Amino acid sequence: MENKKHVIKYELLKEDKRSMARLGRITTPHGTFETPVFMAVGTQATVKTLTKEELEAIGSNIILGNTYHLWCQPGSEIVRDAGGLHKFMNWDRSILTDSGGFQVFSLAKLRDIKEEGVTFKHHKNGAKLFLSPEISIKIQNDLGSDIMMCFDECPPYPSTYKYLQESVDRTLRWAKRCQDANRNPDTQGLFGIVQGGEYEDLRRHSAEELVKMDFDGYSIGGLSVGEPKEIQNRVLAFTTPLLPKDKPRYLMGVGSPGAILDAVERGIDMFDCVLPTRIARHGTAMTSYGRVLIKNKEYERDFTPLDPKCDCYCCKNYTKAYLRHLFKADEMLVYRLLSIHNINFLLRLTEGIRNAIKEDRFLEFKEQVYKEYGIEDDKDF
Amino acid sequence: MENKKHVIKYELLKEDKRSMARLGRITTPHGTFETPVFMAVGTQATVKTLTKEELEAIGSNIILGNTYHLWCQPGSEIVRDAGGLHKFMNWDRSILTDSGGFQVFSLAKLRDIKEEGVTFKHHKNGAKLFLSPEISIKIQNDLGSDIMMCFDECPPYPSTYKYLQESVDRTLRWAKRCQDANRNPDTQGLFGIVQGGEYEDLRRHSAEELVKMDFDGYSIGGLSVGEPKEIQNRVLAFTTPLLPKDKPRYLMGVGSPGAILDAVERGIDMFDCVLPTRIARHGTAMTSYGRVLIKNKEYERDFTPLDPKCDCYCCKNYTKAYLRHLFKADEMLVYRLLSIHNINFLLRLTEGIRNAIKEDRFLEFKEQVYKEYGIEDDKDF
């Protein structure tokens, strides 16, 4: 193992005594923040409907950008020539970019996976595209994110052991190629992605080989792709102990309150999900007393805030009756207000988690949120 | 003529020597602002995509709400029970509401005009509706706007002299009924609407009868409905002198730079138009050097602000390349940014007009904007 300089610094501040939950602090070239942390998703160089100031006001310290989408539109060279993604979108805190791998496997059509990379068709216009570890890193270097992700294969659930075995090994070879391709090793960190489906020995093999390559952090991939919740929790429980304690651990695509709490309990530090902005566009809010569907008739004359316990811009200034009216009238302002509220909800949830770990009451906090939010085991968010 | 208390105070500060342009100051129960003034349109209890803070930041002192739309959704009683439109939408500066008359004649189907009022069908769901002077004022009283408009008939262009003659007289009878129906005469002002098409004697008759009724202000209606620009200017030129100097004059539905300048020259004080927010949604910006269609390929790598002379949030923080990307990606943020920019443009234009009147150079200012913006006589905005 090389003793290399790491762009991303992780400090382990405290471990929970009764679970694998941990409090940490990450420093990137664009700032420092405590973990567990939730990252809002800014797919197309914008966290949908919101400005930088609105994200800063609710304490958003790191957001996610999508390599695949930015590659398609406007193209990574344009973002590079603008001075990088931070400058292009007017965001000076931290940015993590995914590798495009997930979109290749979830959105794109007719993919053909070879050792060199993946040939596939654009999810909308059908144009033929090719992504490889080198191209993904080239794009992410153009974007200039603080944390890049390795280009990996994200196999569907369920996949056969034999298929996953080959896929894990190819993804490991791709991880090495990603590391070698990074032309900004002094300014952009790189995370490895542990794959292996639900199989403990494959996850172990993947984790051990990635750890040997000494990444800035590790993601646990191939989860939240339709598997039952207990499988996700079981995989997390046996995978995080395989990862070094002095590096951040990231569970990609997870953002429901219950799944965040479950994953923190099993040692995860970082989360991202489109959930808060996507459900906002469907008129759904996450509140301290559970989900609210703002279109419901019961809110027509409800002149109280969405969540009386919430201090976000939406809850301080508007009533449920007004939000319902805007939603019924299809007014964009409601998508802004609910997006602010929902992202704030998850940022306050992770803040609550951090405080609970500090005060040795994480499991009690988890139980309390489960109860107050009304999380059922099989039906989260 | 009664000597009644007026809710809306207008002070004439200065008259231009070489035109009918005038500088004034209006005070409503929710604030004071100078005229000529542009009012952004908040049709459905929201200026599309924007918050109160964003409107305040660009100096928006009075906005417009639409009686017809708020009557349909959420219903005026809900707004009333919320504490009125100001409280419902979180806006504590001035609000003007129209009467619903324009929508009845522009949007609604199968209308049947009788002395009592107008029966028509809802513009979307086809439901049978009835609006009368009393109902319009009842709704506007529920909304609690600072300035209400009389319920009038807005005839199409062209209409026959005979038709307009009958219509003007009916609208005058309706104006009296509106005045009598106002149950908040101490807190809500009411404007009369001069009709009469392009006919000077009908306009004179309409204006004289309305002035006898002593309204808080006067609107010139039935313009901007498809007639040539020279007819609009001619009607304005012979109508504003018929109105009292100590009352505000409002030209409804006009918001293009050229038409605002032309109307100010002919003595108009107040304007409203959906133009700045509507064209924003089509990716069009009004700038100091004319119209910009942000989707154009030429802006793909243009890393300069939309308008280098503009100090709005959009121009201070984002580039044309970013705006173009957002528009191509159909991201809501671009509609926000262009709406802020376009409304700011018209607020700065009217501010420039006011300064020019103060400094006795209104006609020079008008000529300069016409030239720099590239306004052609027949093709404004």
Cβ atoms of residues A24 and A35 within 8 Å: yes
Residue found by looking up tokens 């996700």 in the block:
A232
Cβ atoms of residues B238 and B203 within 8 Å: yes
| Crossing angle of helices B362-373 and B257-265, rounded to 10° | 160
Inter-chain residue contact A45 with B322, CB threshold 8 Å? yes
What was the pLDDT predicted at A111?
85
Contacts of B301 in chain A (CB under 8 A): 78, 81
Inter-chain residue contact A321 with B78, CB threshold 8 Å? yes
Contacts of B85 in chain A (CB under 8 A): none
Contacts of B125 in chain A (CB under 8 A): none
Inter-chain residue contact A74 with B300, CB threshold 8 Å? yes
Contacts of A326 in chain B (CB under 8 A): 44-46
Inter-chain residue contact A49 with B326, CB threshold 8 Å? no
Instruction: Give the strand order in the sheet containing A109-113.
Output: A109-113, A118-121, A128-131
B18 inside 8 A of chain A by CB: no
Give the one of B52, B88, B322 whose C-beta lies nearest to A88's C-beta. Answer: B322
Give the one of A89, A324, A335 whose C-beta lies nearest to B322's C-beta. Answer: A89
Which amino acid, one-letter code, is at A55? L
* Alpha-carbon gap, residue A254 to A274, rounded angstroms: 9
**Residues near A18 by beta carbon (within 8 Å), at least 6 away in sequence:** A362, A363
B187 inside 8 A of chain A by CB: no
β-sheet bridge partners, residue A273? A40
* Alpha-carbon gap, residue A73 to A80, rounded angstroms: 13
Confidence tier at B297 by pLDDT (50, 70, 90): very high
* Alpha-carbon gap, residue A141 to B202, rounded angstroms: 70
**Distance from chain centroid for Cα B127:** 28
Inter-chain residue contact A73 with B319, CB threshold 8 Å? no
What was the pLDDT predicted at A380?
67
B314 inside 8 A of chain A by CB: no
What was the pLDDT predicted at B107?
79
Cis peptide before B158 (omega within 30 of 0): yes
Indicate the average pLDDT of chain A: 96
**Distance from chain centroid for Cα B264:** 13
B173 inside 8 A of chain A by CB: no
Cβ atoms of residues A351 and A59 within 8 Å: yes
Cβ atoms of residues A228 and A247 within 8 Å: no
**For residue A251, what are its two tokens?**
């569970």
**Mean of the pLDDT values across residues A105-121?**
87
pLDDT tens sequence across A343-364 = 999 999 999 999 999 999 999 9
What was the pLDDT predicted at B1?
43
For residue B92, indicate whether it is catalytic. no
Inter-chain residue contact B333 with A73, CB threshold 8 Å? no
pLDDT tens sequence across B336-380 = 999 999 999 999 999 999 999 999 999 999 999 999 999 876 566
Chains A and B form CB pairs within 8 A to the count of 106
What Rg do the C-alpha atoms of chain A give, in angstroms? Answer: 20
ipTM of the complex: 0.97
Inter-chain residue contact B82 with A303, CB threshold 8 Å? yes
Contacts of B303 in chain A (CB under 8 A): 81-83
Task: Give backbone dihedrals phi and psi of A361, rounded to 5 degrees, phi first.
Answer: -140, 35
What was the pLDDT predicted at A187?
98
A127 inside 8 A of chain B by CB: no
Inter-chain residue contact B325 with A73, CB threshold 8 Å? yes
pLDDT > 50? residue A1: no
pLDDT > 50? residue B311: yes
* Alpha-carbon gap, residue B174 to B101, rounded angstroms: 11
Residues of A labelled as active-site residues:
98, 272
Contacts of A82 in chain B (CB under 8 A): 303, 319, 321-322
pLDDT tens sequence across A63-102 = 999 999 999 999 999 999 999 999 999 999 999 999 999 9
* Alpha-carbon gap, residue B291 to B293, rounded angstroms: 7
Cβ atoms of residues B283 and B327 within 8 Å: yes
pLDDT > 60? residue B3: no
What was the pLDDT predicted at A282?
97
Which residue of chain B has the CA closest to A302? B82
What was the pLDDT predicted at A326?
98
Inter-chain residue contact B332 with A333, CB threshold 8 Å? no
pLDDT > 70? residue A2: no
Cβ atoms of residues A324 and A299 within 8 Å: yes
Cβ atoms of residues A107 and A129 within 8 Å: no
Which of A147, A174, A150, A155 minimizes the C-alpha distance to A223?
A: A155
Inter-chain residue contact A78 with B51, CB threshold 8 Å? no
**Mean of the pLDDT values across residues A132-153?**
98
For residue B98, indicate whether it is catalytic. yes
pLDDT > 50? residue A376: yes
Q: For residue A166, what is the enclosing H or E element?
A: helix A161-181
pLDDT > 90? residue B176: yes
Q: Whole-prediction pTM value?
A: 0.97
Least reliable range by pLDDT among A20-34, A43-57, A202-216, B3-17: B3-17
Instruction: Please give, rounded to a whole number of angstroms, the shortest distance from the CA of B242 to a CA of chain A.
Output: 40
pLDDT tens sequence across A257-290 = 999 999 999 999 999 999 999 999 999 999 999 9
Which residue of chain A has the CA closest to B332? A49
Strands B109-113 and B118-121: antiparallel
What was the pLDDT predicted at A273?
97
**Mean of the pLDDT values across residues B120-130?**
90
Give the one of B46, B328, B333 whose C-beta lies nearest to A326's C-beta. Answer: B46
Instruction: Give the C-alpha distances (Å, rounded to integers) separating A336 from A8, A51, A86, A252, B33.
Output: 32, 10, 21, 24, 29
Select from A299, A324, A332, A337 the residue whose CB has the most chain B CBs within 10 Å, as the one to mutate to test that interface: A332
What was the pLDDT predicted at A107?
78
Cα-Cα end-to-end distance for chain B: 41
Instruction: Please give, rounded to a whole number of angstroms, the shortest distance from the CA of A375 to a CA of chain B.
Output: 31
Give the one of B83, B329, B332 whose C-beta lies nearest to A73's C-beta. Answer: B329
Which of A32, A34, A50 minimizes the C-alpha distance to A42?
A: A50
